[in-house]
Structure 1
Amino acid sequence: MLRLQLPFPPSVNRYWRHVGTRVLVSKEGREYRRTVRGLMKLQKVKKHDGDLIVDIRLIPVDRRRRDVDNSLKALLDAMQAGGAYDDDSQIVRLTVEKFEPEADCPRTEVIVRRVPAKLGEPGYRFCLRCDDEFYSLGPGNRLCEECTRWRSRLTGFVPIARGRKYRNGARIA
């Protein structure tokens, strides 16, 4: 899982420029992409593969009217340039929320996750306790290793016996 705090993206209305018959990314768009790439390089972001879920929280600087969809193109392209993923076609679920403005700290908070494995299959899941991504061997494994170790250190902890105790009304030993 990847958590990022990025600057507020420029609107798509200011992201593109028409020069003759060509359409180019504007100077503001290129600067935003460069800034995001630098921030992601400082955080040593690793590239995610496979299908992804992206959650975005937009926190603007003021109360001007803004469409949430106008901020997406610049943000997703900058994250791709920064190395979060190969292509934004990997995103299968995208959630965008706009919050109350904060004049002192306008920003965009982004969470990128892999799509969890289907129930019953091994693969990546999210820990029920800390919400971090981990590799699970199956449906019975819902806590990451760190949370499992933390749970076992609790005094008086007794693991729950797994499995069925009854079959067709008769108790199984």
Structure 2
Amino acid sequence: MFKLKLPFPPSVNTYWRHVGNRVLVSKKGRQYQASVSSLLHRKDIKTHEGELIVDIRLIPPDRRRRDVDNSLKALLDAMQFGGAYYDDAQIVRLTVEKHQPEPDDPHAEVVVQHVPAPIGKAGFRTCLRCDVAFESTGPGNRICEDCSLLNSMLPSAMPIPRGRKYHNGDLMGERQEDRL
């Protein structure tokens, strides 16, 4: 298992370029691959074999509307190019979260781990609340025992930070008369 903080990936819209009848990775895409590859080599990450679980948290540079799936291709390909795994077909479980923008530090936090058990069976998971690894009792168990206990005692003690949704600078779900 390894955890990395990578640069924020380029969108798939800028990742590819058409040259004649060929489709190539753009200059921006090649630069991203080189920076991720360099970081993986500095961290001395060994190439993982077998089935993998990848958890990604995207922290964008601004509030512009972005689809999370547009960032995945560049990120996963760059990790493969850098030698984190042989092929992104090894990934059997992929989770992606988009968080509040950080203009000073846009990045992608990536956790790669081996699949401890067949999908749907008990095995190793990462808690959705505290990010600590724990032994899961099944596919529906995504919160560790400590967080479950805390939830039962004080449900509001540890709220999950959720971002507000904006569209064109306005908070979504808020009525016009509520803003006046």
State TM-score, norm by structure 2: 0.67
Residue aligning to 1:38: 38
1:6 match: secondary structure: strand
Tell me, yes or no, if structure 1 residue 50 matches structure 2 residue 47: no
Change (3 A) 1:127 1:93: closer
Deviation string for 1:27-82 (max 9, x for gaps)?
A: 00000000000000000001111100000000001000100000000000000011
Aligned counterpart, 1:16: 16
| Unaligned stretches of 5+ residues in structure 1 | 119-123, 134-173
SS of 1:102 mapped into structure 2: coil
Q: CA deviation at 1:126?
A: 6.2
Question: d(CA) in 1 for partners of 2:17 and 2:26?
Answer: 5
Correspondence 1:102 to 2:116:
no
Q: Provide the aligned C-alpha RMSD in A.
A: 2.5
Amino acid in structure 1 at the alignment position of 2:26: S
Classify 1:126/1:72 alpha carbon distance in 2 versus 1 (closer, same or farther; 3 Å): closer
1:1-173 counterparts in 2 under 5 A? 1-117=1-117, 125=124, 131=133
Over the matched positions of the two proteins, sequence identity in percent amounts to 66
Q: Residues 38, 11 of structure 1: CA spacing in aligned structure 2 closer, same or farther, 3 A cutoff?
A: same
How many angstroms does 1:117 deviate by? 2.8
In the alignment, the residues of structure 2 paired with residue 48 and residue 23 of structure 1 have an alpha-carbon distance, to the nearest angstrom, of 28
Number of matched pairs: 130
Query: Structure 1 residue 116: deviation in Å?
Result: 1.1
Distance 2:126 2:92 in 1: 21
CA distance in 2, matches of 1:70, 1:125: 28
Name the SS for the 2:48 alignment partner: coil
